[in-house]
Amino acid sequence: MLKGSHIVLVEDDEIMGASLVQRLKLEGARVSWHKQTGRALGAIRTPRAKIDAVICDIRLPDGTGEDLFTTLCKTATPPPFLFITGHGGIEQAVRLIKAGAADYVSKPFEMAVFLDRLSMLLARHDGPDLPPLLGVSSAARRVEAQARELAGSDKPVLIVGGPGTGKGLVARRIHDMSERRAAPFITVNFAREADAGQALFGPDGAWHKVGEGTLFLNAFSRITPAGRAAFLDALARGFTGRIIASCGQDLAALLAGDEERADFFFRLDMQQLPVPPLGSRPEDAVWLMQQLFSDMNAARPEPLQGISPICEEAVRAHDWPGGGRELRSRLLHGLETASGDLLQPLDIFPESVVQPEAMQTLAEAREAAEKAQIIDTLALTNGQITKAAGLLKVSRTTLWEKMQKFGIVTGSR
């Protein structure tokens, strides 16, 4: 993937820089290494050859990687940037991605992981310039990279993911990046059609309309035994289109104990593309809220000024069992009921209202957290107080006194 590519490295650390240059060259890349933002700026603005990617540390001796990136953005669209950041700079890196950077990797990192990220970055910018599909996280961009790879194949695809994860968007993206994009993209939703067989194989059904396009079969796991037989028969008679299907994350459980269903899916030989749940991608939840907020807020009689930082933190902390659909619903309700200038957590999560009389003091909250941590640690050590004290970095006597205070009993001393 890196062979023949031109990479600009902006890194002041001699050891890390030399290590990266050596490995990138072994992978077949041509590398230009700069140790200061001033020199890197000129080299990127007026390159001698096309630059495929920039690897940039955020902290540099004469400025920051963010300064370099934003300066380049003022006059032109810079090459894709892969930022290297320490733990304390992750929020800054996420902010840069929202501003148009391609990806980031945090120190310390494994070289294999770094090369994988760089390869995905180059793959994404090797085709049409499309906006982010599911978000700005590395997981979301990994799905996009897989979608781009699958777009170059004609094999059937099974997109696996929970509710509201954007499986339909992924299917459409695969179609739009494929050579079939000029042909129809037709959907049959097995969860909504009263007669899915008719919608699929009827005289005006999708099977006959799709031609050389893409047939997207949503909730495909709900196909009936009769439908499975008809589907295989139709495939045997010839099909010029491409099949992309989707199902929930319980595919393994769905196939367990049902040999006929399992045989059906195995015979289709579908390439699986898993989509992680939104709850595991907190930065994407915030990104999605920001994308939806603009249009929804503009429809208000008196638009809000924006989203409060604590609201973004609350969205980041929620597990989103309903995925993007839940986020959209909560945001719509929040904008209907919001009374301040900014969208606040209680607008999105009204169920989290705590009555004043039920609210804990800070001291009570600290004690509750301390008690929970002690219980969890004792469970981890099977009640061994000495081991637990070592893990908690307190003396055995201190731990014993706190256990007495909180009424925690264990059979070991």
What are the φ and ψ backbone dihedral angles of 299, each rounded to 5 degrees?
Answer: -80, -10
Q: Report the run of H or E that residue 106 belongs to, with start and end.
A: strand 103-106
Contact status, residue 101 vs residue 132, Cβ threshold 8 Å: no
Contact status, residue 333 vs residue 173, Cβ threshold 8 Å: no
The predicted structure's pLDDT at residue 366: 87
The predicted structure's pLDDT at residue 367: 87
d(CA 288, CA 136): 9
Structure tokens of 60? Answer: 């540099």
d(CA 128, CA 188): 27
User: What three-state secondary structure class fits 355?
Assistant: coil
Other CB atoms within 10 Å distance of the CB of residue 105: 19
The predicted structure's pLDDT at residue 150: 92
The predicted structure's pLDDT at residue 206: 94
d(CA 20, CA 105): 13
Quote the distance between the C-alpha of residue 286 and its chain's center: 11
Minimal CA–CA distance to 161: which of 245, 243, 244, 247? 247
- pTM of the predicted protein model: 0.61
Helices (H), 211-342: 225-236, 251-255, 259-268, 282-298, 309-317, 323-337
How far are the Cα atoms of 96, 243, 257, 263, 264 from residue 254, in angstroms, in the given order?
41, 20, 8, 12, 12
d(CA 59, CA 49): 26
CA angle 339, 343, 346 (to 5 degrees): 80
C-alpha distance across the termini of the chain, in Å: 58
Give me the residues paired with residue 83 across strands. 56, 104
Other CB atoms within 10 Å distance of the CB of residue 74: 6
HSE value, Cβ hemisphere, 13 Å, CA-based, for 228: 16
With tokens 């973004």, the residue in question is: 312
The predicted structure's pLDDT at residue 315: 93
User: What three-state secondary structure class fits 84?
Assistant: strand
Structure tokens of 202? Answer: 């009827």
Q: Which amino acid is at 98?
A: K
Minimal CA–CA distance to 239: which of 201, 207, 266, 203? 207
User: What three-state secondary structure class fits 154?
Assistant: coil
d(CA 339, CA 326): 21
CA angle 327, 214, 136 (to 5 degrees): 35
User: pLDDT tens digits for the chain (413 residues)?
Assistant: 678 889 999 999 999 999 999 999 999 999 999 999 988 998 898 887 788 899 999 889 988 898 899 898 887 778 899 998 875 566 777 778 777 787 888 877 888 888 888 887 786 655 555 567 888 787 888 898 899 889 989 999 999 998 899 999 999 999 998 889 889 999 999 999 989 999 999 988 999 999 999 999 999 988 999 999 999 999 999 999 999 999 986 677 777 778 888 889 889 989 999 999 999 999 899 999 998 998 899 989 999 999 998 899 899 899 999 999 999 999 999 999 998 899 999 999 988 755 555 567 888 888 888 988 898 888 788 778 888 899 999 999 898 888 888 888 765 55
What are the φ and ψ backbone dihedral angles of 217, each rounded to 5 degrees?
Answer: -105, 95
Contact status, residue 83 vs residue 96, Cβ threshold 8 Å: yes
d(CA 411, CA 384): 9
The predicted structure's pLDDT at residue 89: 65
Cis bond leading into 108, ω under 30°?
yes
Complete domains list, the chain, with CATH: 6-126 (3.40.50.2300), 141-274 (3.40.50.300), 279-353 (1.10.8.60), 358-406 (1.10.10)
Residues 6+ apart with CB under 8 A from 52: 5, 6, 7, 79, 80, 122, 125
Sign of CA dihedral 47, 52, 57, 63: positive
